[in-house]
Amino acid sequence: NAGVTQTPKFRVLKTGQSMTLLCAQDMNHEYMYWYRQDPGMGLRLIHYSVGEGTTAKGEVPDGYNVSRLKKQNFLLGLESAAPSQTSVYFCASSSWTGSSYNEQFFGPGTRLTVL
Amino acid sequence: AQSVTQPDIHITVSEGASLELRCNYSYGATPYLFWYVQSPGQGLQLLLKYFSGDTLVQGIKGFEAEFKRSQSSFNLRKPSVHWSDAAEYVCAVGAPHSGNTGKLIFGQGTTLQVKP
């Protein structure tokens, strides 16, 4: 049981390049989330998904797109990277019991630098 | 709107001393409350959570937290800190009726340094 995994762990991009971050979970969780973490800002929600085939915008969605074609995977895309997107990106997943939701489980993060 | 405040950005304690990290939230009803720990270069690991019931909750690694409704607080405590506790601690709040999205609001985190 690997939990939540993220690929890659590190990446350096040049301004204008594109890339996709992959998140995978093996806990059969319905909900998945993408966050960015910047110094002094705390975790900020980029996009989230409440089930396969569904996505929704979070607090800071501009410049990012997501897809959830399979329940276990949640992809975060940067079409044209900007230096302001330099950050650490975390993926998380959680489950819904029908009466409440449970804690989020986090991946190890992806450190992205945009030059 | 919900919000979470961790008033202390950085705290230093001596090994063996007691610890209390503060977390205050803003929400109209009783929220779901979480404390996570993040070691350098790692993801967040859940320490403990409060949904309802007993307001004093026990977590992993000897941590506990107390929910105080009157103060809108959920402070994290440990009676005796170990050097390995040095990390960032993040408080999070979730709304029980958040449209079934499971979204959480996170505080800015408190960095704990432990002096030998």
CA angle B113, B115, B116 (to 5 degrees): 140
Rounded mean pLDDT of B37-64?
Answer: 92
Shortest Cα distance from A35 to chain B (angstroms)? 11
CA dihedral (B79, B82, B83, B85) in degrees, to 10, reads -70
The segment with the largest mean pLDDT, out of B28-32, B38-42, B43-47, is B43-47
Lowest model confidence (mean pLDDT) among A65-74, A84-93, B48-57, B92-101: B92-101
pLDDT for residue A74 is more than 80:
yes
CA distance A12 to B29: 43
Our CA-based measurement puts residue A57 at a distance from the nearest CA of chain B, in whole angstroms, of 11
More reliable by pLDDT, B28 or A56: A56
Instruction: Give the pLDDT score at A99.
Output: 65
Q: Among A55-69, B13-27, B88-102, where is mean pLDDT lowest?
A: B88-102
Q: Is B56 left (phi over 0), alpha (psi -120 to 50) or beta?
A: beta
The tokens of A61 are what? 């969605």
| pLDDT tens sequence across B62-73 | 999 999 999 999
- The alpha carbon of B27 is separated from its chain's Cα centroid by a whole number of angstroms, namely 16
Q: Which residues of B have a CB under 8 Å from any CB of A?
A: 9, 32, 34, 36, 41-46, 49, 51, 90, 94, 96, 100-104, 106-109
Q: Given a cut of 80, is residue A42 above it in pLDDT?
A: yes
Q: Residues 6 or more apart from B58 whose CB is under 8 A from it?
A: B48, B64
Yes or no, beta carbons of B102 and A101 under 8 Å apart = yes
Task: Tell which residue, B45, B26, B52, B90, has the closest CA to residue A100.
Answer: B52
Q: Measured between beta carbons, which residues in chain B are less than 8 angstroms from residue A97?
A: none
- Please report the pLDDT score of residue A2 as a whole number: 82
Do B101 and A106 lie within an 8 Å CB cutoff?
A: no
Chain A residue numbers touching B100 (CB-CB < 8 A): 50, 96, 101
Res B28: pLDDT: 77
Which of A41, A100, A104 lies at the smallest CB-CB distance from B104?
Answer: A104
Q: Percent helix, strand and coil across chain B, each rounded to 5?
A: 10, 50, 40
Coil/strand/helix, residue A81? coil
